[in-house]
Amino acid sequence: MEPVKDISGRAAPAPLPAGNRKKRAGQLVFHITTAGLAIILLYPVIWLIASSFKESASIFATSHSLIPDPLILSNYTEGWKGIAGQPFITFIKNSLIIVGLSTAGAVLSSAFIAYGFARIPFKGKAFWFSCMMVTMMLPHEVLMIPQYIIFAKLDWLNSFKPIVVPQFFGHAFFIFLMIQFIRTIPVELDEAAKIDGCSRLGIFFRIILPLIAPALATSAIFSFYWKWEELINPLLYLNKPELYPVSLALKLFLDTETASNWGAMFAMSVVSLVPVILVFFVFQKSIVQGISMSGLK
Interacting residue with other proteins among 21, 22, 43, 93 (CB under 8 A): 43
CB 75 within 8 A of CB 83: no
**Integer angstrom CA distances of residue 82 from 148, 227, 237:** 29, 21, 21
Stretch that binds other proteins, among 12-20, 176-184, 190-198, 287-295 (CB under 8 A): 287-295
Paired with 83 in beta bridges are 86
Q: Cβ of residue 105: shortest distance to other proteins, in angstroms? A: 10
223 binds other proteins (CB under 8 A): no
Stretch that binds other proteins, among 70-78, 96-104, 114-122, 181-189 (CB under 8 A): 114-122
4 binds other proteins (CB under 8 A): yes
Interaction residues for other proteins, span 64-93 (CB under 8 A): 64-65
CB 178 within 8 A of CB 218: no
**Integer angstrom CA distances of residue 80 from 28, 73, 96, 189, 271:** 45, 11, 17, 52, 9
Q: Cβ of residue 25: shortest distance to other proteins, in angstroms? A: 13
38 binds other proteins (CB under 8 A): yes
Cis previous bond, 166, omega within 30: no
- Say if residue 193 is exposed, middle or buried (CB neighbours under 10 Å; 0-12, 13-18, 19+): middle
Stretch that binds other proteins, among 77-85, 133-141, 182-190, 209-217 (CB under 8 A): 133-141
Binding mask 240-269 for other proteins (x = CB under 8 A): ------xxx-xx-xxx---------xx--x
- Say if residue 218 is exposed, middle or buried (CB neighbours under 10 Å; 0-12, 13-18, 19+): buried
**Alpha-carbon distance 10 to 21, whole Å?**
18
Paired with 222 in beta bridges are none
Cβ distance to other proteins smaller for residue 220 or 246: 246
166 binds other proteins (CB under 8 A): yes
Binding mask 193-222 for other proteins (x = CB under 8 A): -------x---x------------------
27 binds other proteins (CB under 8 A): yes
